[in-house]
A and B are shown apart, each in its own frame.
Chain A
Amino acid sequence: MSLIQVKNLSFSYDKKRPVLADITLDLDGRSTAIVGQNGAGKTTFVKLLKGLLKPDFGEIHIGKTSVKEATVASLARKVGLVFQNPDEQIFKGTVRDEVMFGALNLGQDKETAETRAREALERVGLGHLSETNPQDLSLSEKKRVSIASVVAMDPEIIIFDEPTIAQDHAGKEQIKHLIRGLQEQNKLVMTIIHDMDFVAECFERTLVFNEGKLLMDGLTRDVFSRQDVLHQAHLEPPSVTQLGKKLGFAETFLTVKELVSGLRNGGNR
């Protein structure tokens, strides 16, 4: 089922140089990664989906709602966006108030908002910090607070912008777990990300942006098998994919487990 429809979308900040040109795609429930160089138009694209920017040309529909006609407030119920820089998002005096803020703004009563905030903080591993001032947290913790704030609003579509920045192994595992949980709740999870190893492990579908254009849209495994496309977008396949190719395998491996079993079984070399 199509959750987001994008048709002939174009956008430019200065009305001269296009940042996005003629993007057409359909997003269904599959978890989707958006990859590409800095400046490829990824963040602009997700801001358009959330209605923070208005297209110059083309249409975006979230379900049956046209983003052009909807207010930012009404879209906030459907689409949650976690910014790359948590300081653009965080402003309350305690972590709990911060995470409750969005939910309260959507009209939830205090009790529900508090429960949602508590659950969301547990999910990102910060349940113990609810009384702390967010400004006293490390960058990795702030990032997880900003993720929890959006999760507490319970939108149907959740978009992350570089969620793994500044995260160590444990933080990444926590985010991986959260993404899988959101998928189980039938939410559409999308993320802009530079970490290809993370994409390989967590996302079914991958969109490759390059210089404002959608260069490729496909299953993550198919995208990472296309060395030519990745090269054009100045990207490298995940480490495990690279190792598999260098060892002469025809298959595209996405996880350590897959490659190890390929090596054990002799595989297709």
Chain B
Amino acid sequence: MPEKNLLGIEPLGAEDLNRYLDQADNFLGVLERPIPIVPALRGKTIITLFFEPSTRTQISFSIAAKRLSADVVNFSRATSSVVKGETLLDTAKNIEAMKIDGVIIRHSVPGAAKILADHLDAFVINAGDGGHEHPTQALLDLMTIRQHFGRIKGLKVLIVGDIAHSRVARSNIFGLKTLGAEVGICGPPTLIPREIEKLGVQVFCSLDEVIKEFDVIMALRIQLERQKSGLFPSIREYRNFYGLTRERIKKIKPHGVIMHPGPTNRGIEIDPEVADGNKSLILRQVKNGVALRMAVLFIHAGGKIE
């Protein structure tokens, strides 16, 4: 049985992960119906609390909640200054006072979701906390891979790009390893965290040398807002070595697929022709995201919470 909150993939076992994925597969069917709404969470109120900019994640959670008949309140504040723990706690107390059943939080500080979870009776879903974790993104990636290949165990997955700043990479590494995939990471050495091998991944510096060995190539977004300190010489150089260009993609396995958590920087980490090409699962990821988040909300809000 999963915990009250979903804060990260790291503590979850294979059984927990599969439970989310199995439920999500069933919710895909609900989305295909003439009236794609079920009354499962009628009367529940869920707030999305986004302290960092996001389009698809917040929308995806809102739609998922509405498809389950929950009431949704959206709050977003794009801010570059770190919101202090005190302020966050204050927010938590206010939420408590308003009798909200669940909180979905995105925040630039790692552990922000945990702070809320420690102080609230409501369930808390982490929608990205700094460079720490983004569990629902990893789950929807796992769901998409399993849907496409029919399995995860034994597959070889390569995560390309800015691993150091990426919560998506971290959550995916945990989930993929737990479900028995082989994980490689590839990027400029300045964007590969030290001692990442301890998570059980193989590190590669040359994308051209290894791209043909992998079943799934997962490109990460180059976070332009974090690149002012010169971690690589130029955008063009990044594209030359690590971009999923049309030419480079010709080398991947015949059954290989391309994924990207979005939003994409077209022409930098991925060419438009590749993002829209027949090997791309990007839109499938977005579609699965709604079903997966329905499953997460249903599991955490559906039953009585002790």
**A in complex with B:** no
Interface residues of A (CB under 8 A from B): none
Partner-A contacts on B (CB < 8 A): none
